[in-house]
Structure 1
Amino acid sequence: MSGAAAPSRTAAELARADGHSAHNYHPLPVVLASARGAWARDIDGVEYLDLLAGYSALNFGHAHPRLVTVAQAQVGRLTLTSRAFQHALFADFCAAVTGLCGKDAVLPMNTGAEAVETAIKLSRKWGYDVKGVEPDRAEIITFDGNFHGRTIAIVGFSTDPDARGGFGPYPPGFRTVPYGDIDAVAAAVTANTVAVLLEPIQGEAGVLVPPDGFLAAVRALCDEHGILMVADEIQSGLGRTGETFACEHEGVVPDVYILGKALGGGIVPVSAVVADWPVMGVIGPGQHGSTFGGNPLACAVATEVVRMLETGEFQSRSRELGEHMHSLLATLPADVVTQVRGRGLWAGVELAPGGPSARTVCERLLARRVLAKDAHEGTIRLAPPLVVERDEIDWAVEQLADSLRPTG
């Protein structure tokens, strides 16, 4: 943990980037140059503890030696074939991912949004071919506060005005209901409903955990009506919450898993849709694909990610260190922090109205060498890499407590 240095190059680099990049982000004023484990170094040599972990893409930390070794070996061997040809790592990847999920088949893509779009297409095709819904009438139930990506279809059923506003018209076929309200889900089911698409914990909305029993109730409702339960575990999955999948906290197995972020180990974008053959089998040659989906480099890294998860080490670290982190967060002053939500090494710290905004607190944390991100205006999202140490969590929460009431 090196001491902070006075920035010299940061402002100039930020200005250069701002002059030539689209303004679709408003990043904190830091320019990172290298990182390892839970720490990142900026271009002026200042080191920061990373409590965002790439929105869970860096669950295993920056530059994990096992993942770097695998990636480096594969880069010099074979990186892309397209799916026009088979490659030597594809079968291992498929076996690893389906084994982790307890499913029959996987459809690999690249980004999380691509995987969500794939799951939407898969659900609709299943609805027509298997359930017998009339053509072009399929409906999918979604939830307010959702964040599944940025494509036109996905933002069309978003309730975030920043994500949705100004991009219409939007594709039909989605019914959005209040998150965590099983009665609202039941009321939205029609003969044309083919799936319920949900995040087991809503990350972008502020790490919202649904009421106890909600996931199990959705599972039962889907079984009752013969519709698919589709779980977007892109942020919540692969160890983040203390289990391999967040659905496991209620003993629930969805019909379709959507995976991404951590599946690529923070090295390459890798996403996947995973289901049993009665669902996956409705997709035939030419009906869906991706030039880079399932490429050899992605398969090498993702297969190693699965092997790392198979030991249970990272799930245990998230569970045990998460309990410690949440116990510390619970001691933050109640007049400034109204609620702390989350599971495992994932927390949403909700700030009281009238106090500092989440963005302001994140800027104060940056000055204290901690990287965190606001989730909308009132919540600070904390998601340290699963390789973080206990004393680093202690130090980070101390910095957060001081940032809530700055002195001087």
Structure 2
Amino acid sequence: NGAFSCLRLVNNATHAVMPGTSITASGSSYANAIENNLNLTIHDGGTVTLTSAKKLVNNDNLYAGGTINGDLENNDYLLPANGTSATDQLDIQGDFKQSSAAQLRIRLGGTLPADQYDRIDASGHAELAGTLDVRLINGFAPGAGDRFQILEAGSRTGVFNPVMLPTLLGKLSWRLDYYSTPGLELEVVVGAPPAITGWSSIRTHGSAGTLEIPLDPTDGQVTTECRNEGIKLVAVDFSRDVTAFYAAGQIVVTGGLMVTGEALTNGGTRLEIRLGGSTDKTCYSINVFNSVAGLSGDADCMVGVLIGDANNSRTVNTIDMAMIKSRISQPVTAANCRQDVNLSGTINTIDMALTKSKIPNELGACP
């Protein structure tokens, strides 16, 4: 027991910080004060103290149920307990960061923090990524209303992805709350987990109002948004009200598209995503996996912008012009809104002219 001071510790073997034992690392000439490259266990009551703004970097297996006075960066496997069957709490007097390749395992054996389920308490900022693996132990069966504050921090960015949650009995499902308290709380709620039932691109056609083009999220034939100025508003429909499962600010878009706003509508059964920055002849991906906890179904959707592609062939040609011509003067409805390319609310020769100006544009291969 007692204190052990060092400039830099690189752990390439199996070591343990026992109860009542302190390791202190200091010095400013190294980027990391302690690196764990094999197995390191910090028992409940054990303390690792890092000075000069240093951090503990875990590159292998870290079993930590004690205290880290400094920052922790997890790049591999972390269990906030000492590796035995007992649950515990890891106290971090600093920041916590988990990389995208890392895994945090949490065990639930009851509803009492630390005594019955693992948790992390970080005084600083939590930067989250990578896998969260939650498992039940000791025959515990969570019930409706049970809550588990598995991570608490001063502030938080990012989310865990993927999240591996145990199956619950009856008509129960998990809700992940990243917002009520910075960190992450798991809650057991009544009802099946929400599922995505459809995607659509929405535009306004003059006096005909807002009309939707259904999108195919299955990574098969990518649907094109053929109407002038491309993608503006995308809707995601769910099998149930997702208000209790929803976290704002977690939508991921690629290809240069930007999320300019988002809101739940239709009693929480639809997520409307306002988008900007779309350009012609471009593919985009929209992913809402992290927006709704426990989500099933196609959580990401690829959509292409190809103005004038009235028949959704991914090429603008005279066939599109012929289709528009055959529908001139028809009332614009959901069935023919692709042919109202200029969004005037009337299918006419202006739509044909706009389409002609886009020949021979094509979308090409989408990722």
TM-score (norm 2): 0.22
Structure with bigger helix share is 1
TM-score (norm 1): 0.20
RCO higher in structure (CA 8 A, sep ≥6) = 1
Please identify the structure whose Cα radius of gyration is greater. Answer: 2
Structure with bigger strand share is 2
